[in-house]
A and B are shown apart, each in its own frame.
Chain A
Amino acid sequence: MIENLDLSMVNWARAQFALTAMYHWIFVPLTLGLSWIIAFFHTIYVRTGSEEWKRLTKFWIRLFGINFAVGVATGIIMEFEFGTNWSNYSWMVGDIFGAPLAVEGIVAFFIEATFFAVMFFGWNRVSKGFHLFATWMVAVGSNLSAVWILVANAWMQYPVGQAFNPDTARFEMQNFFDVALSPFAVNKFIHTTSSSMMVSALFIISIASWYLLRGRHVLLAKRSIVVAATLGLVASIFTFYNGDESSYQVAQVQPMKLAALEGLYEGQTNAGLVAFGIVNPEKKVYDTQPAFHGPKIQIPGLLSLMANRAFGTFVPGMHDLVYGNIEHNIVGAAQKMERGKKAVADLDAYRQAKKADDKAGTEKHLAAFNENKEFLGYGYLDKPEETVPPVTLSFIAFRVMIVLGILFFLIFIAYLYFSARKTLERKKWLLGLGTITYVLAMIASQAGWIVAEVGRQPWAIQGLLPVTIARTNLTAGAVQTTFFMFLVLFTLLLIAEISIMVKQINIGPEEN
C-alpha cells in the first residue's frame, strides 16, 4: 500500500499540521468547556456556603489545571509550521490574521493569565466574591482566546472582507467586522464552544460514574453529574442547532464539502440524508462505479432541507461541481479553472508590465486580473477532479460526529432522569457506559475537526489558494523528520497528562 501513497512535501506538511492540530485539540475542548462548568460549581459553593461544594469545585479545578498545563503552548507549534512549511500562505494572510491574533494576545491572554493565579491560589486569601469573579473571568478569557483563532479559521473557509493586493501578494483586510462577524465565524465559535461544553460535561460524567461504580466520593459524584448533565444537555441543543446552521452555510459556500460529507456524486432534487451506508472508496467522480457498497439508508428530503431550507430543492453532487450543470446553473471547477488560469496569467503580465514601467499594460492587466481574481486558486489546479476532498474519510467522520452527538444527548437525559428518580447508583449499565463517554466525546470532537478541515481540501483558502501553492518549497525529508519528532514529543506529553490525571482522580478530592 505504501507505494501508492503520495508522500510529497505537501502531504507530509498536511500530516504534520493534522497531527499537531488534533493533538492540540485533545486539550482545547476541556479548557473551553470545563472552565464554564467549574464557574457554575464555584457559584453554587459561594451561594450555598457548603464545604462539600467547595471540595468539589477545588477537585475539578485541579483536573482543569492539569489539562491546561499539559496543553498550554501546544498550539504555538502550529505557528512554527506556518512560517516553515506554509510560508507562502503565512505571508499572504498576514494582514488578515495579524489583527485578530494580536487582539487575542492582548486581551484574552492577559485576562486568562491574570485571573488564573487568583482562581488557583485565592482560596481563603481573597474575598469569596472576587475569587468567584476570577473563576468566571478564567472561563471568559479561555473562551475569548478561542474566538480569534476560530475567526481566522472561518475566514479560510469563507474569505470575506478582504482584497488581494497584487503588489504585495497579500490578502488585505478591508473591513474588520466583516471578518470578525462573518456568519461562518460566529457559527464556528458557537459550535466549537457548545460542543466543547458537551465534551467537558462528559469528562465529568466519566470520572463521576467511575466513582459511583466503586462507591467512592458518592455525594461529589452525584452533584457533579447533575450539574454536568444539565449543562451538557443545554449545550447539546445548542450544538445541534448551530450544527444545522453550519450545514446550511457549507451548502452555500462550500457545496463540494457537503457533497463529499454525503457521498453525493450526482446532484439530486429532494435529496435525502444518508443515515447509513458503506462508501465505495474506489469511486471516482468521473467513473460509473456505484457510490456505495450495498444499500444505504436515507432520510428522504432531509439533505435538501438542510442545504437550502426547503424540501424538494436541488443539492449539487460532486460531478455537478466538478464539470458543471447547465440545467441547475452550476459553474463547474473545469470552467473556474479557465478563469483561474487567466487570473494567474494576468497577474504575471501585470508584474512584468510593472517591471517594464509600462503604465498602460499595468492598468490593462490589473483590470483583467480583477475580473477573474475570485477564481485565482483554481488556476493552480492540474485537473478539476482535484477539487474533490477525500470522500470516505469525510463521510465517516461526519457520521461519527452526528451519531455520537445524538448518543451524548440521550446519555445526558438518562443521567438526569435517573438522578431525579434517585436510582442512578443502581444503573450499572449506564454508569459503565458513562465511564467511557469521555473517550467517545474525544472521538466525536476530533471527527468534527476532520469534517471541517479534510472536507475543505484542497483549499488552504477557499477558492483562492490551494495547499499546493500555500506551501514552502522544501523537501519532504525535512518535514518527515519533524513529523516524527512531534509524534514522540506529543506521545510523551499525552502519557504525562494521562498519568498525572489518573493519579489525581485516584486520589480524589480528599487531598485537596
Chain B
Amino acid sequence: MSDQSLSRPWLATQIYRLYRDGFRQMTVGRTLWKIILIKLFIMFAVLKPFFFPNFLATQFATDAQRANYVIEQLTQSAPGSVQPVKGESP
C-alpha cells in the first residue's frame, strides 16, 4: 500500500467534505436556502397545522368511520330532480 493511498480519506469523509465545502462556498445559495427554510416553516409550521388539517384524519378515529362518512356523502348527495329527456331543451 502506497503512502498516497494511506493518506486518502475515507469515502464518508470525502462526502462530508464535499457537502461542507460546497455549503461554505455558496453565495447566492445562502439566500436560496433561507428562502427554502422560511417557505418550509410557513408551510409546515403555520399553514398545515392551522389552516390545512386533514379533514377525515382529524374528524374520525378509524378508517371504518372515514369510509362510512364518505359513503354517506356519496349516497345522500344525489339530487332527486328529473332530468330533461333527449332532444328537449330546458
Give residues in A with beta carbon < 8 Å to B: 62, 65-66, 69-70, 72-73, 76-77, 80-81, 83-84, 87-88, 90-92, 117-118, 120-122, 125-126, 166-170, 286-287, 323-324, 326, 332, 334-335, 337-338, 340-341, 344-345, 347-348, 351, 379-385, 468-469, 472-474, 481-482, 485, 489, 493, 496, 500, 504, 511
Contacts and interface: CB of A to CB of B under 8 A. Distances in A.
Given A121-B25, A168-B63, A323-B87, 19 more contacts: A65-B32, A69-B33, A70-B32, A73-B39, A73-B40, A73-B43, A77-B47, A83-B54, A83-B55, A84-B55, A88-B70, A88-B74, A121-B19, A122-B18, A344-B78, A348-B75, A383-B90, A500-B31, A500-B32
Q: How large is the interface on B (under 10, 10 to 19, 20 to 34, 35 or more residues)?
A: 35 or more
A117 B19 contact: yes
B22 A80 contact: no
Contact of A347 (B36, B55, B74, B89): B74
A335 B47 CA distance: 44
Contact of A166 (B29, B71, B78, B87): B71
Given A83-B55, A500-B32, A344 B74 contact: yes
Contacts, number: 143
Interface of B: 18-19, 21-23, 25, 27-29, 31-33, 35-36, 39-40, 42-43, 47-48, 51-57, 63, 66-67, 70-71, 73-79, 81, 83-90
Given A117-B18, A469-B74, A482 B52 contact: yes
A169 B70 contact: yes
Prevailing SS type, chain B contact patch = helix
B57 A334 contact: no
Contacts of A500: 28, 31-32
22 contacts: A65-B29, A69-B29, A69-B32, A80-B43, A83-B52, A91-B56, A91-B66, A92-B70, A122-B18, A167-B67, A170-B67, A324-B86, A324-B87, A332-B86, A334-B84, A347-B75, A381-B79, A384-B83, A384-B84, A482-B47, A482-B51, A485-B47
